[in-house]
Chain A
Amino acid sequence: MRFFTRIVSLATFAIVLMPISISSQELPQEIDPNQIIAPRILGNQIFQIDLGLLVPLFSYSTTPGLSESESFKPGAGLNVGGSGALRWSAFLDNTFAIGLDLSGRLAAGPNEGVFGSVLVGPRLSSFFRIDNFQIPVSISPGLSILAYKELSYVGFGLRTEAGFFIDATSNWSFGLNLAYTWLPEVYADANPIFSQSRVGNLLEITLSALYSF
């Protein structure tokens, strides 16, 4: 499972960073008269709002010596929940954008407890555009705040995502967003002990609206 996570992370980094490599080659770009939204230039901005489902995938432990049933928990012990996000980004060119990401998620535990998570941090995005379709691919490392019952944790979180948008007007695009959120909860030694360190892996499927200005 760790191998799978690494592959996902590496693939996301590669997709996000690929346009940087391409852009360094200074490729010329023509305006497509059929595109509803004009190519982005430095200073163009977008605002995005997402709302949808949270699908907990699994949690796992990196502690050696634990049995599989102890170290791997399908569904991370959570039920399907809800997810939402607000994003702002400014374009550096037609492809690459940098901004801020604020996302939150809620899901019920096995009983009445509610799991809550907020992730806030910078956002790096690449926008692939084909006709009037946009395929943004983003990565958002940031500050993760987790809460469940009386338990809480503040640390690092990473969110990688890909979307598919259809341009509806010169400002608005609508589409579907798929996000993979990686939430490590790492302890050094006592209270809680190291063996209780876990990494949560969540999938978010959201409907998204994207405003370009």
Chain B
Amino acid sequence: MTHPKRVPSHGLLCLCIIFTTIIFLAGCSGQSSGLFYALSIEEPISKKDSGLGKDGATYTDIVRYNSLYILKGSVLYVADVPNTASFPDSGSIGTWKTVSLGARLAVASIATYNNELYATFIGNADALPENNTQVLRKTSFSSLAQAESATWSDVSLSGLETGQIADLLFSANNQLFLQSKKSDSPNSGFKYNLYYLTGATWTKINITSGQGVDSDSFLKVSHDGSNYWLLKSYGLFKNTDLVTDFAVEALAGSETFPALTNMVVSGTSVFVTSSKNRLFFYNATTWSTFTIADAKFIDIEVFSMQDKNPAVVGNQNIVLASTSNKGLFTVTTAPSLTATAFSREAGNYGSTNFYPSSTDLSTNPDIFLANPGGLNSERLPAFALVPGLGLWGAYIKSDPENLISPALIWTWE
């Protein structure tokens, strides 16, 4: 039996072609990044077996103490700073060890001063009230083992006003600063004072009358070689010494409540971030203001890019953390800081939003940046501390095709 052959309908083919054309022209997407493009730039994130918790882990500060890193979570961790001559090509940050706190419950803040590690603690074995804090110090230690086992000794709180309790520590210009707080009864909240340590006594720092807001806590203390800078969300204060009153600094384009969030000093330059989408830049003479829409900056750090790439000697790459889902921004200070130089961080962060993929900065608004290695020629990592996602190290990736902007590659420590 045979079946007659049939020629397929040209109408059907025409329908297919029309259908295909409509779909081709209707391609659409509702986001700011191409999908295959994002996949093409995403780099695998290394997940180290470092002894640190990762998923669910929250760390809030990291400082360098001699050849050690001290990391603050609810307790303290310590690890060796890697060999700067070979890092990161070979060698790495060693395994993190837990520092004994004795019977104390939790660490509130840490700072290094006079070659000693200081920390404020909340609560102790005597079941003191939660707000009864202590300032303790570990005397000089130089190895991991010593850091783990060294005992803590009490630091006098002599000099604090009546009712003031220890809160947070800062250090700058080899001075130790202590923020104290006192309940602002009958109002809710606290009133904050700032002290610096002179011998065994804390001396109060004053701000010109009417310029400070007592209920606004101090966010950072820095020194640029000539001036001390005190940062509050309501304003920035400057003075050349700690004895006379600090005066408010007029930021260009600022307003009554500038919502300042963080500050970094690099040489004589000062950078101040605002959650109102602004970066204030001080070049030792005048202030400039840069605004990026929908980039609520909460932290800033300066990364040295030299050594790995001769083309950028003297340049400083600034990384800004933003609470918007735009993530991290970078800007280079050389030849000059201009608004057009801002770009979204192009390292593996840019497409991964910090692993795991289900979490991004919009749900992690308090990312902290830290550069305990300092701005020297060392090739040490800078860090990002992401609530619930642990500690991330940023390393400079040498890119021969892109000499001007070597990318930061993030590794989950």
Q: Which residues of A contact B (CB under 8 A)?
A: 20, 23-24, 26-31, 39, 41-42, 59, 61, 67, 69, 73, 76-78, 92-94, 96, 98, 109-113, 115, 121-122, 124, 141-144, 146-156, 183-187, 191-192, 196-200
- For the complex, what is the distance from the CA of A141 to the CA of B357, rounded to whole Å? 31
A15 to chain B, nearest CB (A): 15
CB pair A153 B29 closer than 8 Å = yes
CB pair A29 B2 closer than 8 Å = yes
- For the complex, what is the distance from the CA of A27 to the CA of B401, rounded to whole Å? 61
A67 to chain B, nearest CB (A): 6
CB pair A155 B31 closer than 8 Å = no
Contacts A111-B45, A152-B31, A154-B29; is A199 near B7 (CB within 8 Å)?
no
Chain B residues positioned under 8 Å from A61 (CB to CB): 37
Q: B129 an interface residue at 8 Å Cβ cutoff?
A: no
Q: Which 6 pairs, one residue from A and one from B, show the smallest C-beta to C-beta distance?
A: A155-B27, A77-B39, A196-B34, A198-B36, A156-B24, A73-B40
Chain B residues positioned under 8 Å from A23 (CB to CB): 5-8
CB pair B33 A151 closer than 8 Å = yes
Question: Residue B356 contacts which of A31, A112, A148 (CB distance < 8 angstroms)?
Answer: A112
A191 to chain B, nearest CB (A): 6
CB pair B23 A20 closer than 8 Å = no
Question: Residue B34 contacts which of A27, A98, A144, A185 (CB distance < 8 angstroms)?
Answer: A185
Question: Residue A122 contacts which of B1, B16, B37 (CB distance < 8 angstroms)?
Answer: B16
Within 8 A of A (CB), among B348-387: 352-353, 355-358, 360
Q: B26 an interface residue at 8 Å Cβ cutoff?
A: yes
Chain A residues positioned under 8 Å from B9 (CB to CB): 92
Chain B residues positioned under 8 Å from A30 (CB to CB): 2
Looking across the interface, which residue of chain A has its beta carbon closest to that of B37? A196
Contacts A152-B35, A198-B34; is A185 near B40 (CB within 8 Å)?
no
Chain A residues positioned under 8 Å from B26 (CB to CB): 154-155
Q: Which residues of B contact A (CB under 8 A)?
A: 1-9, 12-13, 15-16, 19-20, 23-24, 26-45, 352-353, 355-358, 360, 401
CB pair B36 A93 closer than 8 Å = no
CB pair B36 A187 closer than 8 Å = no
- For the complex, what is the distance from the CA of A186 to the CA of B34, rounded to whole Å? 9
- For the complex, what is the distance from the CA of A69 to the CA of B407, rounded to whole Å? 15
20 additional A-B residue pairs with CB within 8 Å, beyond A31-B1, A78-B39? A23-B8, A61-B37, A67-B401, A76-B39, A77-B39, A94-B5, A96-B8, A98-B12, A109-B39, A111-B42, A112-B357, A115-B39, A121-B20, A141-B19, A142-B23, A151-B33, A151-B38, A154-B28, A155-B28, A185-B34
Chain B residues positioned under 8 Å from A153 (CB to CB): 27-29, 34-35
Best-buried of A27, A111, A183 by chain B (most CB within 10 Å): A111
Chain B residues positioned under 8 Å from A76 (CB to CB): 36, 39-40
Question: Residue A59 contacts which of B3, B4, B24, B39 (CB distance < 8 angstroms)?
Answer: B39
- For the complex, what is the distance from the CA of A59 to the CA of B35, rounded to whole Å? 11
CB pair A121 B19 closer than 8 Å = yes
Question: Residue B27 contacts which of A31, A69, A150, A186 (CB distance < 8 angstroms)?
Answer: A186
Chain A residues positioned under 8 Å from B38 (CB to CB): 148-149, 151
Question: Residue B39 contacts which of A69, A73, A184, A197 (CB distance < 8 angstroms)?
Answer: A73
Best-buried of B16, B20, B24, B29 by chain A (most CB within 10 Å): B29
CB pair A110 B24 closer than 8 Å = no
CB pair A187 B29 closer than 8 Å = yes
CB pair A142 B20 closer than 8 Å = yes
A81 to chain B, nearest CB (A): 12
Best-buried of B26, B27, B36, B360 by chain A (most CB within 10 Å): B36
CB pair B29 A27 closer than 8 Å = no
CB pair B357 A192 closer than 8 Å = no
CB pair B7 A111 closer than 8 Å = no
- For the complex, what is the distance from the CA of A61 to the CA of B32, rounded to whole Å? 17
Best-buried of A93, A98, A150 by chain B (most CB within 10 Å): A150
- For the complex, what is the distance from the CA of A142 to the CA of B6, rounded to whole Å? 25
Looking across the interface, which residue of chain B has its beta carbon closest to that of A154? B28
Contacts A31-B1, A121-B19, A154-B27; is A192 near B42 (CB within 8 Å)?
no
